[in-house]
Amino acid sequence: MLLLSCPSRTSLLARQLRRAFHDQRWPGWEVVIGIETHAQIKSRQKLFSHSLSSSLKDPPNTNVSPFDAAFPGTLPKLNQECVDLALRTAIALNSDVQTRSSFDRKHYFYPDLPAGYQITQHYAPIALSGKVYIPGRDSPVRIKQIQLEQDTAKSSFDPRTQTSNLDLNRAGTALLEIVTEPDLRSPEEAGAYVRALRAILRAIGASDGNMEAGSLRCDVNVSVNEVGKPRGTRCEVKNLNSMKFMQAAIICEARRHQELYLEGAAVPQETRGFNEDTFETFKLRSKEEAPDYRYMPDPNLGVLFITRERVGRTKKTMPELPWETRDRLVHIYGLSEQDADILLNLDAEREGHEGGAVVYFDRLCKETRDPRVTFNWMVHELLGRLHAAKLTFADNPLSSSQFGELVDLVQSGTITGTSGKLLLREMLADPSSSRTPTDRALNLLSASGGELDVNELCAAAIVALPAEASAFRNGHKNVINKILGWVMRESRGRAESKNARKYLISLLEKTP
Amino acid sequence: MRANVRRLWTRQISSWRHAIRDKDSSVNAFICTSQPGSTSPERLPLHGAGIAVKDMICTSDMATTSSSAMLKDFTPPFDATVVGLLREAGADIVGKLNCDEFGMGSLNIHSVHGPVVNPFQTASSSSTPWVERERRSAGGSSGGSAAAVAAGMCYAALSTDTGGSTRLPASYCGVVGLKPSYGLISRWGVISFADSLDCVGVMAKSVAATKRVFNILNARDTKDPTSASLSARETASKQATQAWPTFALSDLRIGVPQEYFPSELSQEVLNPVREAIKSLRCRGATVVPVSLPCTPYALSAYYVISSAEASSNMARYDGVQYGLHVPAPPGADLTSAAAIYTQTRAAGFGSEVQKRILLGTYALTADAFDNYFLQAQRVRQLVRDDFNLVFRVPDVLSPRTPEDRPNDQGVHVLIHPSAIGTAPPLGALDADSMATYVQDVLTVPASLAGLPAISVPLVRKGEEWPVGISIVGQWGCDEMVLRVGHFLENLQ
């Protein structure tokens, strides 16, 4: 059975696995995983041309320059925005930015590669030896290298007309290839790594990291060995475009290798694909059939020099990274780890932090509001309302100052919690109103009959519910809740329940 | 007054167009000619100049074929930067010029448009009608450019030079050919043969005309990532002026590299070259022998590097996006890209291009890369080092130069024959013989080092065919090289 990619469960599972040292799915065997991730860089223009980076919504072949179509006479021009985003990634992944890196041509013939080569960084990548920390694991996942490269075009085959269609929108778009060392030991760890990487790429605005849309793609290298024995032969599974498929591919490979070894057979080194219908991997080509890419230094692009000053400048503009945010939420605000993760996960689905949940929360807490009360209001009330309306946090129409004012009204006792919830509902229904929450709250109060006389309401309740009143006097103390409910309903939530209860009891006990 | 000027100008332009009409059928220099356009304003620097362009340089109004069946009907969607600069300067782009396919060849016989015939006719055979003159090669790969200038079919021509493709045909046809320093003239819009070596060249009848056109093209272009920076240009020209402030022959040290006088050098070249060097000395120049010991290895390094880059650059011609497409035969495996590309690439590329693709592909395979490609790059550096040791002016691009101090014992320029012989007869050519490669031996080192080199024709009499003499300078010393070329021109 597949394990679902749920973050909290994953880290728990990973911890359990480490404790047991072997996986219940393959006791006595160790699975060794390395991941190559291709992330589309969120730059306005392509890596070497002026055409715009495309989204899936763009009609085919609309963002194409002569260079992207490999017209003769065209030359590449390195887009410094892509270099900056690669630098941010390198810094966020704690890696060594190389002062000198260069570009190489990787040759193969395929219609989705108009020039017959892809420009990549084979011999001298832009960054080496990084680290990524993932939940539930003390040692970091080591990053071998980060390189800049071009994406290919998209080709699709129409079986009905027996023709291939080419869309050059993606051709030449900037990619980051991020390669780990073989440090991962389970499909869950692999998932946790990709999620952590994705959150980082989104936080620094380097990529939208959307696996379903193809802006984040993974190749996994899997080998299996008996615990304590040398590493097995690795197989690469290419082009996994969802977390679920990636984990399924790893499980499938782990089982396949184990079975081969148990039969006394060898695992042949090969490149494999993943069938999304059967959830199985299949052979693409053997090591012997592997193409010779004839890597050649690109004679046009020369050396990419990156000065220490440029790295320093970039460091200063780096936003807070996800693990730093988590640390802050737990240690400065005193949120529980679980609550911190709730806020982080709200942001993990979006690119950049502007307008994100953590920033919203920070703004709310800035004005000396109690972080935990604020969190409860924000997550349980505000987010709860939004979810009930099938909206996400991104759709939240209330500014942090509007929402903060509401929290303050409740905290200062100007309105009750129940009134606060009512007010929130009203604010969400008409968020564009120019009235401040305080005005609205006063309105709410006056609309329900001006100044509230709780004592009068309590007296009225006893009159309205004679049977309950006498039941109370006869010792059925719990009936008080029913009478109190009447008061609360009539006051439309404005009555303070503790006081009302006290006053009701005194009234009931006073009069026979 | 104004009308007179216009008439004069029109007469000039039409003299070139007349010459094309009258002569080109027996030269085959032009692949196509443009429609005469409107007159450019006279204030423009190239007002009135008819300029023809090698067919490897993109023009949006004329097909650009690189003399290949692969691009037979290909018209680029843009003008090359150099073409744009010429148009802005008021030049009339009269047409596109024949060349060896993708610039690969030394004789201009590897062209889908047929060979270029050298327009030269010796003084003593002037009784024979010109069209029945001896049929000799115009040289390559820019044979059309040299022939068009020699036959008076344009004021100047743009060529390219990867390993001698400008200087060799200039020598064979008796015109001036300049290969500027690598990176001075933009390559945007110039179809790549080997990017690290390719340069746009200028050909004209005189050094002055060559310089006039070069000055227009010598500009930084941000669209070309290999375009030299403004600071490198400034530093180099400052160094050059410092090294030769008087521009006087008596202050000039000229080096004669012994390796450039191989045994294959013919007497008909050696004698006039010796004469020219002697008269330079007579006018006060200091002539010293120098040695560039790595020269013998330069040719093999050149063929490995240029072929490797060519194999990579030719990969784009697959019949998918543009150019020739030969459909796969019935029954072919439509799922195999290789099987489909084979049809187009086998039909579209000529034999010389195919040969170099194979050689370059091999040099880049994992097994051969270190021994061939990397080894060739090391030789290339040694060739550069050789030059840096003999030149007076330091190499501003190389961090290896110990100091930016001029080397007082060094020479300002080098002088050597442009080719080992005169233009070979077209009929007797064996396209596959090693001799056709050996021709490049004298021109390739300057290409590997990215240095400016100019071939200037020497005076010929009687039965004598043109001979060119080459001046090579340090990177960025193009002005100096042109100036020395001008002295040579005036010796005669």
Q: What digits encode the pLDDT tens for the residues A264-316?
A: 999 999 999 999 999 999 999 988 888 899 999 999 999 999 999 999 999 99
Tokens of A429: 């229904």
Please give the Cα distance from B400 to B390 (Å, whole number).
Answer: 14
A299–B223 CB contact, under 8 Å: no
Stretch B122-149: mean pLDDT:
93
Distance from CA of B18 to the nearest CA of A (A): 31
Predicted pLDDT of residue B107: 92
Distance from CA of A124 to the nearest CA of B (A): 15
Residue from the list B322, B341, B365 with its beta carbon closest to the beta carbon of A71: B322
| Residue B242: Cβ-neighbour burial (10 angstroms; 0-12, 13-18, 19+) | exposed
Please give the Cα distance from B305 to B381 (Å, whole number).
Answer: 12
- Asked whether residue A14 carries a pLDDT value surpassing 70, the answer given is no
DSSP assignment, residue A295? -
Q: Are strands B50-54 and B92-97 parallel, antiparallel or unpaired?
A: parallel
Interface test with A, best of B160, B311, B320, B349 (most A CBs within 10 A): B320
A66–B309 CB contact, under 8 Å: no
Predicted pLDDT of residue A356: 80
pLDDT band at A6 (very low <50, low <70, confident <90, very high): very low
Stretch B420-445: mean pLDDT:
79
Distance from CA of B135 to the nearest CA of A (A): 33
Residue from the list B195, B224, B361 with its beta carbon closest to the beta carbon of A294: B361
Residue in B337, B214, B281 with CA at minimum distance from that of residue B488 = B281
Please give the Cα distance from B257 to B302 (Å, whole number).
Answer: 19
Residue from the list B190, B315, B369 with its beta carbon closest to the beta carbon of A117: B315
pLDDT band at B399 (very low <50, low <70, confident <90, very high): low
User: Sheet containing B468-473: which strands, arranged edge to edge?
Assistant: B30-33, B92-97, B50-54, B156-161, B199-204, B176-179, B453-457, B468-473, B413-417, B253-257, B286-290
Residue B60, chain A, CB below 8 Å: the answer is no
Residue from the list B190, B314, B334 with its beta carbon closest to the beta carbon of A73: B190
Q: Facing residues of A39 across strands?
A: A176, A216
How many alpha carbons lie under 13 Å from residue A256 in its C-beta half-sphere? Answer: 21
| Residue A129: Cβ-neighbour burial (10 angstroms; 0-12, 13-18, 19+) | middle
- Asked whether residue B6 carries a pLDDT value surpassing 60, the answer given is no
Q: How far is CA B402 from CA A117, A346, A371, B152, B406, in A?
A: 38, 59, 64, 47, 11
A114–B80 CB contact, under 8 Å: no
pTM for the whole structure: 0.84
- Residue A296 with chain B: CB contacts under 8 Å: 308-309, 312, 364, 373
B78–A66 CB contact, under 8 Å: yes
Residue B338, chain A, CB below 8 Å: the answer is yes
Stretch A216-225: mean pLDDT:
95
Distance from CA of B4 to the nearest CA of A (A): 40
B225–A76 CB contact, under 8 Å: yes
B321–A72 CB contact, under 8 Å: no
- Residue A120 with chain B: CB contacts under 8 Å: none
Please give the Cα distance from B100 to B105 (Å, whole number).
Answer: 6
What DSSP string runs through A463-510?
HH-HHHHHHHHTT-GGGHHHHHHHHHHHTTT-S-HHHHHHHHHHHHHH
Residue A292, chain B, CB below 8 Å: the answer is yes
Please give the Cα distance from B398 to B381 (Å, whole number).
Answer: 10
A·B CB contacts under 8 A: 99
Give the model confidence (pLDDT) of B311-333 as tens digits: 999 999 999 999 999 998 888 77
- Asked whether residue B401 carries a pLDDT value surpassing 80, the answer given is no
Which entry of B141, B227, B306, B418 is annotated as an active-site residue? B141
Residue in B89, B90, B91, B87 with CA at minimum distance from that of residue B79 = B87
B76–A301 CB contact, under 8 Å: no
Residue from the list A66, A72, A114 with its beta carbon closest to the beta carbon of B320: A114
Please give the Cα distance from A246 to A238 (Å, whole number).
Answer: 10
ipTM above 0.85, yes or no: yes
Q: Please, are residues A178 and A146 in contact by the beta-carbon 8 Å criterion?
A: yes
Interface test with A, best of B62, B65, B191, B316 (most A CBs within 10 A): B316
Please give the Cα distance from A137 to A452 (Å, whole number).
Answer: 57
pLDDT band at B402 (very low <50, low <70, confident <90, very high): low
Please give the Cα distance from A244 to B238 (Å, whole number).
Answer: 64
Residue in A251, A255, A242, A249 with CA at minimum distance from that of residue A275 = A249
- Residue A117 with chain B: CB contacts under 8 Å: 312, 315
Residues 393-432 of chain B whose Cβ lies under 8 A from any Cβ of chain A: none
Selected residue with higher pLDDT from A404 and B1: A404
Please give the Cα distance from A360 to B12 (Å, whole number).
Answer: 75
- Asked whether residue A366 carries a pLDDT value surpassing 70, the answer given is yes
Distance from CA of B337 to the nearest CA of A (A): 6
* Mean pLDDT score across all residues of chain A: 86
Residue B378, chain A, CB below 8 Å: the answer is no
Range with top average pLDDT, A111-120, A391-400, A404-413, B32-41 = A111-120
pLDDT band at B7 (very low <50, low <70, confident <90, very high): low
Residue B222, chain A, CB below 8 Å: the answer is yes
Which entry of B40, B159, B165, B447 is annotated as an active-site residue? B165
Give the model confidence (pLDDT) of B230-255 as tens digits: 999 999 999 999 999 999 999 999 99
B312–A116 CB contact, under 8 Å: yes
Q: What type of residue sits at position A129? A: S
pLDDT band at A12 (very low <50, low <70, confident <90, very high): low
Please give the Cα distance from A157 to A165 (Å, whole number).
Answer: 6
Please give the Cα distance from B442 to B352 (Å, whole number).
Answer: 21
Planar angle of CA A56, A58, A64, nearest 5 degrees: 110
Residue B308, chain A, CB below 8 Å: the answer is yes
Give the model confidence (pLDDT) of B170-180 as tens digits: 999 999 999 99
Q: In the annotation, is B165 catalytic?
A: yes
Selected residue with higher pLDDT from B483 and B7: B483
Selected residue with higher pLDDT from A415 and B404: A415
Residue in B194, B265, B234, B228 with CA at minimum distance from that of residue B470 = B265
Please give the Cα distance from A54 to B416 (Å, whole number).
Answer: 55
Residue in A184, A220, A216, A180 with CA at minimum distance from that of residue A201 = A216
Give the model confidence (pLDDT) of B49-91 as tens digits: 999 999 999 999 999 999 999 999 999 999 999 999 999 999 9
| Residue B134: Cβ-neighbour burial (10 angstroms; 0-12, 13-18, 19+) | middle
pLDDT band at B157 (very low <50, low <70, confident <90, very high): very high
Give the relative orientation of helices A357-366 and A400-411 as an angle to the nearest 10 degrees. 50
Residue B10: Cβ within 10 Å count: 13
Q: Please, are residues A214 and A167 in contact by the beta-carbon 8 Å criterion?
A: no
- Asked whether residue B17 carries a pLDDT value surpassing 50, the answer given is yes
Planar angle of CA B53, B59, B62, nearest 5 degrees: 90
Predicted pLDDT of residue B459: 86
Residue A154, chain B, CB below 8 Å: the answer is no
Predicted pLDDT of residue B330: 85
- Residue A72 with chain B: CB contacts under 8 Å: 58, 64, 66, 71, 74, 76, 191-192, 316
Distance from CA of A66 to the nearest CA of B (A): 8
Please give the Cα distance from B195 to B187 (Å, whole number).
Answer: 9
Residue B464, chain A, CB below 8 Å: the answer is no
Residue from the list A75, A114, A294 with its beta carbon closest to the beta carbon of B364: A294
Q: What are phi and psi of B248, to 5 degrees?
A: -100, 140
- Residue A71 with chain B: CB contacts under 8 Å: 76-77, 321-322
Residue in B167, B100, B146, B199 with CA at minimum distance from that of residue B420 = B167
B191–A72 CB contact, under 8 Å: yes
- Residue A162 with chain B: CB contacts under 8 Å: 334
Provide CB contacts within 8 A for A438, sequence distance 6+: A405, A409, A414
pLDDT band at A4 (very low <50, low <70, confident <90, very high): very low
- Residue A79 with chain B: CB contacts under 8 Å: none
Q: In the annotation, is B312 catalytic?
A: no
Maximum CA extent, chain B: 75
